[in-house]
Every structure is written in structure tokens, then in C-alpha cells.
Amino acid sequence: MAQDDPRRLIPRTDRLLGLPPVHRARHRLGEHVILALVREAQERARSGELAPDEVEPAVLAAVAARSATTLRPVLNATGVIVHTNLGRAPLSASAVEALVSAGGYVDVELDLRTGARSRRGAGARAALLEACPRAEDALVVNNGAAALVLATTALAAGREVVVSRGELVEIGAGFRLPALIESTGARLREVGTTNRTHLRDYADALGPETGCILKVHPSNFRVEGFTSAVEIGELRALAEAHGTPLVADLGSGLLAPDPALPTEPDVASALDGGADVVIVSGDKLLGGPQAGVMLGRSDVIARMAGHPLARAVRADKLALAALEATLAGGDPPVVQALHADPDRLRGRADRLARAVGAPVVAHDGRVGGGGAPGVPLPGWAVRLPEAVAPLLRTGDPAVLPRVHDHACLVDLRCVPEPDDDRLLAAVRAALAGLDGAGTGAG
């Protein structure tokens, strides 16, 4: 390298690492992360992208902007409450506080009075039983699919799971219920047809090889027209006559009936109808962390809890803490969004629209996450040019709108009201970026 080569002026690594802001960043970033940021800035200078005197500011900016996680907070402006791509249910303030507390040492399996080992997750179990008194016992595992795998393994490994063909659903990301169940060593015994299943179909299938009857709520689609299905209450007598456990996988997470979703099944009603075990997801309409929640008869829950697989799929302390706090605290964000006042939503949308000179249009929100398919949640959205959408997604804060009918729709149903000003700033920045690109906002 020649003496007059400007690359000789690139700051040395030890000097950049010794900068006070870089040194202070070590309490939140690992040494290897900081070193990578320094070397990246130096490489940019060596390639001519940065001048040597721009390296130090670039390092300081990179260190300041770098977080220990690559996950970015997003304002959900789609109107879809349980948005799987955004992590499903946003946690309540109580649940977030519980997560932070549980990040240290906690008595997850310890009785502090006696010093002896205690039942894992006793607080979450008690909260579930208080919220759903119809259940005799409860068990929490790491997600809904794990709960179904545990149930079919503990009750029917090497035997048959009797299920309607119309309920053999694909649960997302290509995972199909038949493959999930068969992976446990159980055999599927399909009854009925895609659109019609009768009680006699189940009766003809039950026998010595039956491990359990499985009733699955087809939560992410609807079949209409010439259809027939057998309800849990109708299956109860059949299950009792054969001594066969009746398992109901409801998915969405309602513990009790909700007037806003009159056709959505709930745990209390399923147990009243005769289900021995009901499975729901904690991060859907329950509004809590990712978890598979199993509620029902104490003897059947005990069979599942005592199976070796239960250890492999158990919930960690963070999920247990957040689930308990979700149940013991006030209404979580999912419940608030589900029951949002349309007039208040209209007022918030009007304020945003006036501030940016855009129209407000009627817009139906959705439950999402497979819950209540086809059920509209009346509301409002601010209509922006379609080209604004990518600018909102990549802005700060990141905002996810709905792109529909050649427009970018900003629905405030799932945006916390204290974030309205941040949303307005993001929309203004995106519109300014659109104008700066010469596209125009009209």
C-alpha cells in the first residue's frame, strides 16, 4: 500500500473499540458483535464506500442502532387481531411484567415454605382452573400442536384415533393433522366424508383398537351447503359406552362463550357437552403466550402429564408466567381489539386521515390465526396510495398495513391508542418518501 493511499488513514481497530460509546455498548452487545460492526465499517472504507474520516461516525451509528435481537417491533395496522406473521397475540402489560420477573430465578418447581420440589407451573394451572371452573385439571405444554401430539400419543399410540374426514385439516406452514397424528405411532381411522359425517359413522368405527375419539374444530375454513357434522354432545354417550376418551381440539382459545363470536366454540361449552379433554392455543383468542392448553377430566389429564413425552413438550417458565398473568390481569390486547368500539375507531381514523389529507373507508377487521373464519369485525381504515405500503413496512417504527384493491389501508383496531402519534409520524414519513421519489401521494 502506497504511503499516500488514503486507506492508511482508516482508524485502527483498537482505537475504534476504545471509543467511549462503543465501550459502554458492551453491557448490551457481545464483543464479537461489536467487533463485526467495526470491521464492517473498515471494509466499507477499504472498498471506497466510506472516506476514512467517516469510519468513526459509521461505527458509532451502527453500535447505537444495533440491538441484541433482529426482531423488530411492528405496529399492526392490518385489522387482523391474531396475526401469525407478527407473533400472534401481543401480550398484556401484566404478562410482559411477569416475563421480566421470570427472566431470573423463580419458584417454578419449588415450594419456598418447605424447600421441597413442587408441581411445575402450579400458578398457571390454578389460574386456568379459576378461569374455567368446568375443568377438573389443566396441563400446559409449549404449543397447540404439541398438545395434540401428547394427547394422541398418551391415549392412542399403537391404536386408532377416530376422526371425521372433514376435520383432517392443514394447520399452517404445510403441517397437516394426519401427518402430525401418525407421527405419534397412532393410526388414523377416518370416518364419514369431507362434507358429511354422521353418528353411525363413529359407531361403526369404534372397537377394541380405538384409543380415542378426536373432534377437531375446522377453524381456518368453512364448508357450507350440503353438510353434516356430529357435535360433542352427541359423541358423549358413544364414548362412554366404549370407555373411549373424547378429545376436542378447538384451537382458537376461547374459555367461555363470547357474544362477538357466536359461532366460535369455547372450552366451557365443550366440557359441558362431554369432552374429556379440550385443547386450545394460548396465543390466540386467549391473548397470552405461545402455549398448548389442555383442560378436562383429572384422570385423563394425569395420563398425559405422566407420559414421557410430556417432559419433551413442557412449557418453560416464561410461558407459564405470562400465561398466568394473562389470566389474572385485565383484558389482554386481543380481547380489547376484538371488542373495540367502532365509533372510537372511527374517531381515531378520522384524526389520522385529517392529519395526512386522506379519506376514511369502512373496513372489516378479522380475528385471524384460524379463529372465526369469515366473521367480519366492522371498523374503519385510512386509505393511502398502494405505493406507501413498502415505505411503512421499512420505516421506523415499522408499520404493517393491509394492501387491498390497489390501496394501502391503515386500520387502527390493533394499534394501541398511545401509539397513534407514532403511527401518524410513520405515515407522514412514508408519504414524504413517496413524494420525494416523485410518485406523488394522490
Same domain, 124 and 58: no
183 phi and psi angles, rounded to 5 deg: -65, -15
Residues of the chain with pLDDT below 70 are 1-4, 172-173, 220, 438-442
Same domain, 309 and 192: yes
**By C-alpha distance, which of 412, 266, 264 is closest to 341?**
412
CA distances for 310 relative to 118, 290, 332, angstroms: 17, 16, 28
Tell me the pTM. 0.91
Instruction: Return the pLDDT at 436.
Output: 74
Share of the chain above pLDDT 70, in %: 97
375: CATH: 3.90.1150.180
Would strands 407-411 and 398-404 be described as parallel, antiparallel, or unpaired? antiparallel
Position 424 in a domain: yes
Position 419 in a domain: yes
- If one counts every other C-beta atom within 10 angstroms of the C-beta of residue 271, the result is 22
User: 185-223, pLDDT tens digit by residue?
Assistant: 899 999 999 899 999 999 999 999 999 999 998 876 777
| Residue 111 grid cell | 415450594
| Residue 242 grid cell | 366404549
Position 441 in a domain: no
Same domain, 386 and 419: yes
User: 333-349, pLDDT tens digit by residue?
Assistant: 999 999 999 999 999 99
Same domain, 383 and 421: yes
Position 1 in a domain: no
Among 329, 357, 376, which residue terminates a domain?
Answer: 329
Instruction: Return the pLDDT at 3.
Output: 62
Among 329, 352, 384, which residue terminates a domain?
Answer: 329
DSSP state of 435: H
Same domain, 315 and 341: no
Same domain, 43 and 149: no
User: 125-169, pLDDT tens digit by residue?
Assistant: 999 999 999 999 999 999 999 999 999 999 999 999 999 999 888
Same domain, 223 and 352: no
Q: Exposed, middle or buried by CB within 10 Å (0-12, 13-18, 19+), for 19? A: middle
Instruction: Return the pLDDT at 440.
Output: 45
Same domain, 231 and 137: yes
Position 442 in a domain: no
What domain range includes position 420? 74-84+335-436
Position 116 in a domain: yes
Same domain, 303 and 347: no
The tally of domains found in the chain comes to: 3
CA distances for 163 relative to 97, 188, 228, 291, angstroms: 41, 7, 14, 24
Is residue 83 helix, strand or coil?
strand
237: CATH: 3.40.640.10
Position 357 in a domain: yes
76 phi and psi angles, rounded to 5 deg: -85, 100
Instruction: Return the pLDDT at 441.
Output: 43
Same domain, 231 and 311: yes
Length of the chain in terms of residues written: 442
CA–CA gap between residue 138 and residue 315 (Å, rounded):
13
Contact 391, 384 (CB under 8 A): no
CA–CA gap between residue 267 and residue 249 (Å, rounded):
10
Same domain, 421 and 348: yes
Among 329, 350, 380, which residue terminates a domain?
Answer: 329
Position 240 in a domain: yes
Same domain, 271 and 194: yes
